[in-house]
């Protein structure tokens, strides 16, 4: 259950959709100022995934090492609150649901550094 709260691989008709949900079931309190979440080398169908997430009063910073074994479609980082601005690897990133706080990361990079401001 804890694994699925942190990393959830979406299935449809018992087939991988290619979407990997990150932090989908994590309580907001886990992302509060001064809190950290760390996942190291978690096995997934797509390969090992690691992430470090640090909360501050008005932002979250996540460093994600993407899986490399099998291709996936996208990572969906859920920050659990409305968002004002998102940067990925230092560049503005508009592919986000600003109301629900879901940041969509297309496959392709080995590492993502995501900064989300509230």
Determine phi and psi for 6, rounding to 5 degrees.
-85, -50
15, two tokens: 């087939």
H or E element at residue 2? helix 2-6
Q: Which residue has the tokens 């907001």?
A: 28
Mean predicted lDDT score pLDDT of the chain:
93
pLDDT digits (tens, 9 = 90+) for 27-36: 999 999 999 9
In Å, how far are 45, 47, 111 from 70, measured between CA atoms? Answer: 7, 6, 16
Strand arrangement of the beta sheet that strand 49-55 belongs to: 36-42, 49-55, 59-65, 111-117, 85-88, 91-92
pLDDT value of residue 65: 98
| Helix or strand holding residue 3 (H, E) | helix 2-6
> Residue 80's pLDDT is what?
87
Low-confidence ranges of the chain (pLDDT < 70): 13-16
* Predicted confidence (pLDDT) per residue in 73-85, tens digit: 999 999 988 999 9
- CATH number for the domain spanning 102: value is 2.60.420
Is the pTM of the predicted complex or chain greater than 0.85? yes
Q: Would you state the pLDDT for residue 14?
A: 59
Per-residue confidence (pLDDT) for residue 15, from 0 to 100: 64
Please give the radius of gyration of the chain, using alpha carbons only, rounded to the nearest integer.
Answer: 13
Number of structural domains the chain divides into: 1
């Amino acid at each position: 259950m804890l694994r699925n709260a942190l990393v959830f691989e979406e299935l449809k008709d018992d087939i991988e959709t290619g979407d990997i949900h990150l932090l989908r079931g994590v309580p907001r309190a886990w992302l509060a100022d001064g809190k950290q979440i760390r996942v190291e080398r978690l096995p997934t169908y797509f390969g090992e995934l690691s992430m470090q997430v640090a909360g501050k009063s008005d932002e979250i910073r996540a460093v994600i090492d993407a899986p490399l074994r099998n291709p996936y479609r996208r990572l969906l980082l859920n920050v659990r609150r409305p968002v004002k601005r998102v940067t990925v690897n230092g560049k503005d990133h508009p592919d986000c649901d600003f109301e629900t706080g879901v940041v969509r990361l297309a496959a392709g990079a080995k590492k993502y550094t995501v900064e989300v401001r509230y």
